[in-house]
Amino acid sequence: MSLLSKRVNSLSESITLKLNAKASKMAKDGKKVYNLTAGQLPFRPLPDFVNLLRSESDFLHSFQYSPVAGLPELCEKYISHFEKTRKVSVDREHFSCVVSNGGKHALNNVFASLINEGDEVVMLAPYWISYPQMVKLYGGKPVVVSSNAFDIFIPSVDDIRKSITDKTKLIILNSPNNPSGTHYTSEWMEEFSKVMEDFPNLYVISDEIYFQLYYYDPGPTLYYQKKSELLKRTIVIDGISKTLASTGLRIGFTLASRDVVTALNKLQGQTASGANSLVQRALCQFNFELIDSFLAPIKKHLRSNAEVLGEALRNNKMSHLWYQPKSAFYYLLDFSAAPIREKYNEKDASLVFCEELLEKYGVALVPGTDFGIPNSARISLVSEEKYFKEAAQVIANFLACKQ
Ligand code: PLP
């Protein structure tokens, strides 16, 4: 009899971790490695925030349990921030917020609280790696609606409509998107709002962890900004990992109707308790309006690295692989129409492509397979410009089979 549960045995191992381990070993062995797998900003958070963490560490309460749902002042502060940034109003009587240990924990709580065996959950490829894994963990069935590079990885709303059955419980939206680095257009959101209206039992998990991180106008919009009553059937996931460059502090937010929040609290109370008190207390004092000015130079940097990548592709006669990324901090490279593709027999060559690029030329990317897009690889745009420029050149040469 196996010691491990069937549940955990059915989870896939992270290919990113494996490739990262290989990249670290190569670097340790003295090889030049360009690691473009990062899912976090390599910058220090705002000094105002860091100073608040310091000063709050003087108080005993910062080291003790917080309420399970999070500090009420922080929940209220997040809801006000949400209202300002999304330009919607939130009815406190019907909505509330839970603070969890990061966006991933928040998502896990939601899946655990809502999914019954056999429920279908629609997700749009490319999707964030963990969605299908978490859905399966709770007995749900991921239903994937795909997209492609020609449509800038924006799936068709008609395809979404067709994927809905009487078993569909949830749709996951993630705009701005990891890994494509784009957000769905306002027109798309308008169309999507009609689908929501036509299926009144459907709920949406809107993963908005990158909402403020866009570097091309127009910025992201959401369907509930078009029809505010749709917010009632929305579970918003957010956090400080990306917009405050604080992945290690583990704070996530869920905004949802009170019945959902009650269930999330019940689960979180039994499985994790309240999130990190010190960070919550610092956030209570922190001016969330500073996030925009913090992000301004970062957005410039991302935009500039995106241009560097576009130029490297164009200079190597591969403009057809290029689309303009606009948000989050990634680019999903579809190499199915690049000369290198002819080298591989695999139906989906994402992994062999990434392995060869790393082993021979020292560039680490994340294979697209786990994002639901074959023959692709995710490039993180966060690195320092000179380093990124060199890496982009190596990638372009590799795609063109120039090395
Ligand atoms: N959602 C998306 C789309 C992400 O890319 C991430 C992190 O990479 C998360 C959620 C979870 O973020 P965290 O758990 O660090 O708050």
151-169 pLDDT tens trace: 999 999 999 999 999 999 9
- Over range 144-152, report the average pLDDT: 96
208 close to ligand 1 (CB < 6 Angstrom) = no
Question: 157, 107, 152: which is closest to 132 by C-alpha?
Answer: 107
Which residues does residue 97 pair with via DSSP β-bridges, in sequence order? 255
pLDDT at 403: 66
| Cα 104 to ligand 1 centre (Å) | 6
Question: What is the pTM assigned to this prediction?
Answer: 0.97
pLDDT digits (tens, 9 = 90+) for 62-111: 999 999 999 999 999 999 999 999 999 999 999 999 999 999 999 999 99
What type of residue sits at position 309? L
Q: How confident is the model over 41-52, as a mean pLDDT?
A: 96
Are the CB atoms for 140 and 169 separated by under 8 Å?
A: yes
Q: Rounded CA gap, 27 and 25, in Å? A: 5
Q: Is 209 in the pocket of ligand 1 (CB under 6 A)?
A: yes
What is d(CA 228, CA 243) in angstroms, rounded to the nearest whole number?
Answer: 25
279 alpha carbon to ligand 1 midpoint, in Å? 18
Has residue 50 got a pLDDT over 70? yes
Q: What is the mean pLDDT of the chain?
A: 96
Reply yes or no on whether the pLDDT at 18 is more than 80: yes
pLDDT confidence of 20, banded at 50, 70, 90?
Answer: confident
Give residue 127 CA to ligand 1 midpoint distance, Å. 12
Q: Which residue in 321, 304, 305 sits closest to 313, CA to CA? A: 321
Question: Given the CA of residue 177, which atom of ligand 1 is nearest to it?
Answer: 3
34 vs 357: CA distance, rounded Å:
10
**In this predicted structure, what is the pLDDT of residue 21?**
87
Q: How far is CA 238 from CA 65, 212, 251, 341, 378, in A?
A: 22, 10, 9, 37, 22
CB 180 within 8 A of CB 325: yes
Span 367-372, average pLDDT = 95
In this prediction, residue 223 carries a pLDDT of: 97
**Does ligand 1 lie within 6 Å of residue 207's CB atom?**
yes
Residue 310 to residue 398: CA distance in whole angstroms: 15
Q: 109: CA distance to ligand 1 center in Å?
A: 14
| Percent share of the chain, pLDDT over 70 | 100
Q: How far is CA 288 from the centre of its chain?
A: 20
CA distance 132 to 124: 11
- pLDDT category at 16 given cuts 50, 70, 90 is confident
Band of the pLDDT at 176, cuts 50, 70, 90? very high
CA of 339 to the centre of ligand 1 (A): 33
Q: Going by C-beta distance under 8 Å and a sequence separation of 6 or more, which residues neighbour residue 185?
A: 154, 221
Rounded Cα gap, residues 235 and 295, in angstroms: 25
**How many CA atoms are closer than 13 Å to the CA of 62, on its beta-carbon side?**
15
CA distance 353 to 306: 21
Nearest atom within ligand 1 for CA of residue 106: 14
CA-39 nearest atom, ligand 1: 8
Tell me, using a 6 A CB cutoff, whether residue 104 lines ligand 1: yes
- 169-177: average pLDDT: 98
Q: Is the pLDDT of residue 384 over 90?
A: yes
The residues, ordered by sequence, that sit 6+ positions from 326 with a Cβ below 8 Å of its Cβ are 176, 181, 182, 183, 214, 215, 216
Q: 209 CA distance to ligand 1 centroid (A)? A: 6
Ligand 1 site, residue 247, Cβ cutoff 6 A: yes
Question: Among 14, 99, 104, which residue has the most ligand 1 atoms within 8 Å of its CB, making it the best to mutate?
Answer: 104
Is any atom of ligand 1 closer than 6 Å to the C-beta of 252?
Answer: yes
Does ligand 1 lie within 6 Å of residue 39's CB atom? Answer: yes
Q: What is the DSSP secondary structure assignment for residue 69, as one 8-state letter?
A: T
| Alpha-helical segments (H) within 146-257 | 157-163, 186-198, 223-226
Mutate which of 41, 124, 209, 380 for ligand 1 pocket (most atoms within 8 A of beta carbon):
209
Distance from CA of residue 383 to its chain's centroid?
Answer: 18
Single-letter amino acid, residue 73: E
From the CB of 70, is ligand 1 less than 6 Å away? no
* Res 249: pLDDT: 97
Task: State the virtual CA torsion across 368, 139, 101, 184 in degrees, nearest 10.
Answer: 50
The tokens for 107 are: 């998502």
